[in-house]
Amino acid sequence: MKSIVILISGRGSNMQAILEAKLPVKIAAVISSNPNAVGLETARQHCIPAHVLNHRDHETREEFDTALAAKIDEFNPDLVVLAGFMRILTQGFVHRYNGRLINIHPSLLPAFTGLNTHARALAEGVKIHGCTVHFVTPNLDKGPIIVQAAVPVLPGDTEETLGARVLEQEHKIYPQAIRWFAEGRLTVTPDGNVILHDQQTVDMALISPWEAQ
């Protein structure tokens, strides 16, 4: 059975979705960069070891990442899962876990990398928004894409309503991506694309705005 370590900084809603999915993995530990993260208590309620590594206790990003890697390696995980981990990771850290470090981003990458994705999507007037699970590389939000989910942008949407719709899909696709990893069904090609093995072909389209013909 594959083992994973989950990194959080806040409430950990994606972490909770992963816990509730009953995946075929061992969740070895949850590590938070924030000692006040609500997700720490959630982990403890699920009898999962919860640890704090406060980034404020380290003078540089490199020092923090070195300490974080040392803590992660105590559990020898097959996969490191970023679930609302609000730290930009150094290249050395990312290279250390190359091919076994994943993140979820609240946009349909490569669109809207970085922060404030929902506000930017609304400002640009896009009709479809969503979320992306991807392998992490040194280039922020540019890693190989594992799975995406799209939602319509509705008239009158605010950052909050659109964000809630996207978050609902995050809670579905992040556990799915981890399941595929655990089952050994993901391969990253030399050109940086992810192949999902044994995938069923579905001929469909998501169109927004949709109008019955």
pTM to 2 decimal places: 0.95
Band of residue 108 on the pLDDT scale cut at 50, 70, 90: very high
Q: Which fold has domain 2-196?
A: Rossmann fold (3.40.50)
Average pLDDT over residues 2-27: 97
C-alpha distance from residue 27 to each of 46, 48, 80, 142 (Å): 10, 7, 10, 26
Distance CA 137, CA 139 (A): 5
In this prediction, residues 22-49 reach a mean pLDDT of 97
Helix, strand, coil shares of the chain as percentages rounded to 5? 30, 25, 45
Q: What's the count of helices (H) and strands (E) in the chain, helices before strands? A: 6, 9
Segment 139-143 long-range contacts (CB within 8 Å, at least 24 positions apart): 140/88, 140/113, 140/114, 141/103, 141/105, 141/109, 141/110, 141/113, 141/114, 142/109, 142/110, 142/113, 143/103
Query: Would you state the structure tokens that stand for residue 50, as one six-digit string?
Result: 């919860």
Query: Is residue 171 annotated as part of the catalytic site, yes or no?
Result: no
Query: What is the predicted pLDDT for the residue at 205?
Result: 81
Task: Supply the mean pLDDT for the chain.
Answer: 96
Domain positions in the chain: 2-196
Report how far residue 53's alpha carbon sits from residue 65's, in angstroms, rounded to the nearest whole number. Answer: 10
Q: Go through 193-205 and write b for each residue having 16 or more CB atoms within 10 A of its CB, e for each that does not.
A: ebeeeeeeeeeee
Per-residue confidence (pLDDT) for residue 97, from 0 to 100: 98
Q: What is the pLDDT of residue 212?
A: 59
pLDDT at 74: 98
| 190-207: pLDDT as tens digits | 999 999 999 988 887 888
The string of pLDDT tens digits covering residues 81-90 is 999 999 999 9
What one-character DSSP code corresponds to residue 57? G
Of 55, 95, 105, 197, the active-site residue reads 105
CA atoms of 143 and 91, how far apart (whole Å): 13
- pLDDT above 80 (res 211): no
Helix, strand or coil for residue 142? coil
Q: CA 142 → CA 47, 50, 135, 166, 210, distances in Å?
A: 34, 29, 9, 19, 30
User: Is it the case that residue 213 has pLDDT exceeding 70?
Assistant: no
Antiparallel, parallel or unpaired: β 101-105 and 79-82: parallel
Q: Looking at residues 44-56, what average pLDDT do you find?
A: 96
What whole-number distance in Å separates Cα of residue 104 and Cα of residue 135?
A: 9
pLDDT of 107 > 60? The answer is yes
HSE-CB at 132 with a 13 A cutoff on CA atoms is: 21
**In this predicted structure, what is the pLDDT of residue 63?**
97
Residues 124-145, mean pLDDT to the nearest whole number = 97
Q: Please give the pLDDT value at position 161.
A: 98
Unique residue bearing structure tokens 């000692």: 35
Q: Which region, left, alpha or beta, applies to residue 138 given φ > 0 means left and ψ of -120 to 50 means alpha?
A: alpha
Q: What pLDDT shows up at residue 60?
A: 96
